[in-house]
């Protein structure tokens, strides 16, 4: 295990201690017998796709008053089923899938829920995420349910280095100790919904976690760099016409391979920090940065190629030439995109990356 792996396991232990909350689909099916429980977990997991927990709980509760097994599902008229599922997103597709699912369970599985991921993923509306969750909750088996929260947080903590939830699942199957398999989903979903969301609410996070969180500590270090060099966050419309150094915070919404000059570079989804300066005789921060931001520019610097496929989220400026000093400080904190924007200096890079 490397340092990131040990820290991540420590993080899961802290969460386990702090969050004692059952998964919503688990709660819904409590007090049912084994077969009915597996059926209810499967159905409410299908309903839960792209739907808030409270809505899944409400819809499932009403649905299970009328539908307790595959036969009930087959017999209930489709318009009534749609009405019951309606508060959940994509209710028409889900109702259609549930009907078909009921038929398959009767015809192929003697009205039982199959207990293997391979069989579960063949059912309509059931992907790997649902199948893993059913295996864990309904059959108490070892499986890892990776949804968007598990994918984001395991990557944010550098435990996984993947571009899709499916790849994260495979990564976790190789390295996550088995005693965390069943609980990781519940822990990270609750935490990901409330605190470590796509824009993390670090101020609300547990102090024990903040102390060890690599993402939080990187953000704090960046704040320190800004303070040490007296950077000011500046609206794009109010960039000063002075000479100075700038940091552009750039967002890549999806991974992309971009031809930068003659070099192909694979950019991951996430935030990038580009450090540049405007010190030449005919150059100032305003005309240099405005040029980067313009859609109609002729590409001149490395960064112009990246900006064609990304968005500048933040402009920070300071007066004076600190480009390489600032780059070297970033280099201690974040991963760099090697030899980017630094052809005429000795820096490793002027572009740095942090996972989303
Ligand atoms: S400190 Fe921030 S990034 Fe780290 S786990 Fe907490 S919310 Fe997530």
Over pLDDT 90: what percentage of the chain?
81
Give the CATH number, domain containing residue 80: 1.10.340.30
How many angstroms is it from 323 CA to the middle of ligand 1?
29
Question: Is 90 exceeded by the pLDDT of residue 30?
Answer: no
Does 200 contact ligand 1 (Cβ within 6 A)?
Answer: yes
At 330 the pLDDT is 97
Judge if 132 and 246 occupy the same domain: no
| Predicted local confidence at residue 345, as pLDDT | 86
Question: Looking at the domain assignment, is residue 58 inside a domain?
Answer: yes
Span from the CA of 180 to the centroid of ligand 1 (angstroms): 20
Choose between 250 and 52: higher pLDDT.
250
> 3-state SS string over 188-238?
HHHHHHHCCCCCCCHHHCCHHHHHHCHHHHHHHHHHHHHHHCCCEECCHHH
Separation of 103 CA from ligand 1 center, angstroms? 44
Pick the closest to residue 134 from 24, 58, 45, 61 (CA basis). 45
Q: Which of 196, 206, 217, 221 gets mutated to test ligand 1 (max ligand atoms within 8 A of its CB)?
A: 196
**Mean pLDDT of the chain, nearest integer:** 92
Asked whether residue 96 is domain-assigned, the answer is yes
Mean pLDDT throughout 215-224? Answer: 97
The answer as to whether 214 is a domain residue is: no
Write down the pLDDT at residue 92: 95
Is the CB of 195 inside a 6 Å radius of any atom of ligand 1?
Answer: yes
Closest C-alpha to 113, from 59, 73, 61, 58: 73
Q: Are residues 298 and 335 in the same domain?
A: yes
Q: Are residues 186 and 245 in the same domain?
A: no
Domain final position from 194, 210, 227: 194
Residue 319 Cα to ligand 1 midpoint, Å, equals 32
Residue 108 is predicted with a pLDDT of 97
- Domain count of the chain? 2
Confidence (pTM): 0.85
Residue 125's domain comprises: 3-194
- Ligand 1 atom 8: the closest Cα is on which residue? 196
**Helix boundaries (H) for the chain:** 3-18, 24-28, 34-48, 53-66, 70-75, 78-85, 91-109, 117-120, 128-139, 148-156, 165-175, 181-194, 207-212, 214-228, 285-293, 302-307, 323-333
CA 200 to chain CA centroid, nearest Å: 10
- Please tell me if the CB atom of residue 205 comes closer than 6 angstroms to any atom of ligand 1: yes
pLDDT tens for each residue of 321-334? 999 999 999 999 99
pLDDT of residue 81: 97
Q: Which residue, of 160, 194, 228, is where some domain finishes?
A: 194
Task: Read off the pLDDT of residues 241-289 as tens digits, 9 standing for 90 and up.
Answer: 999 999 999 999 999 999 998 899 999 999 999 999 998 887 899 999 9
Do 239 and 109 fall within a single domain? no
- Six-digit token pair at 284? 């100032």
In this structure, are 241 and 151 located in the same domain?
Answer: no
């Amino acid at each position: 295990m490397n340092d990131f792996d040990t820290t991540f396991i420590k993080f899961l232990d802290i969460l386990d201690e702090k969050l004692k909350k059952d998964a919503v689909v688990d709660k819904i099916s409590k007090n049912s017998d084994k077969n009915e429980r597996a059926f209810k977990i499967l159905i409410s997991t299908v309903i839960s796709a792209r739907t808030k927990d409270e809505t899944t709980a409400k819809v499932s509760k009403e649905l299970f008053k009328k539908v307790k097994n595959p036969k009930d599902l087959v017999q209930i008229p489709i318009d009534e089923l749609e009405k019951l599922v309606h508060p959940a997103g994509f209710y028409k597709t889900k109702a259609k899938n549930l009907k078909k699912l009921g038929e398959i369970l009767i015809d192929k599985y003697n009205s039982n829920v199959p207990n293997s991921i391979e069989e579960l993923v063949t059912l309509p509306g059931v992907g790997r995420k649902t199948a893993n969750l059913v295996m864990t909750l309904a059959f108490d088996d070892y499986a890892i349910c990776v949804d968007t929260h598990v994918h984001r947080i395991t990557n944010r903590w550098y435990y996984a280095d993947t571009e899709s939830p499916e790849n994260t699942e495979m990564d976790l199957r190789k390295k996550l100790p088995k005693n965390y398999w069943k609980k990781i989903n519940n822990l990270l979903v609750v935490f990901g919904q409330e605190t470590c969301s796509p824009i993390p609410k670090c101020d609300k996070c547990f102090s024990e976690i903040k102390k060890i969180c690599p993402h939080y500590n990187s953000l704090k270090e960046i704040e320190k760099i800004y303070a040490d060099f007296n950077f000011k966050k500046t609206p794009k419309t109010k960039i000063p016409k002075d000479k100075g150094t700038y940091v552009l915070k750039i967002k890549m919404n999806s991974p992309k391979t971009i031809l930068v000059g003659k070099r192909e570079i694979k950019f991951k989804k996430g935030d990038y920090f580009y450090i540049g300066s405007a010190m030449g005789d005919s150059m100032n921060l305003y005309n240099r940065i405005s040029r980067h931001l313009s859609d109609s520019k002729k590409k001149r610097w490395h960064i112009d190629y990246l900006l064609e496929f990304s968005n500048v989220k933040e402009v920070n400026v300071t007066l004076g030439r600190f480009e390489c000093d600032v780059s070297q400080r970033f280099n201690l904190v974040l991963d760099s995109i090697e030899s980017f924007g630094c052809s005429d200096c000795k820096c490793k890079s002027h572009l740095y990356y942090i996972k989303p």
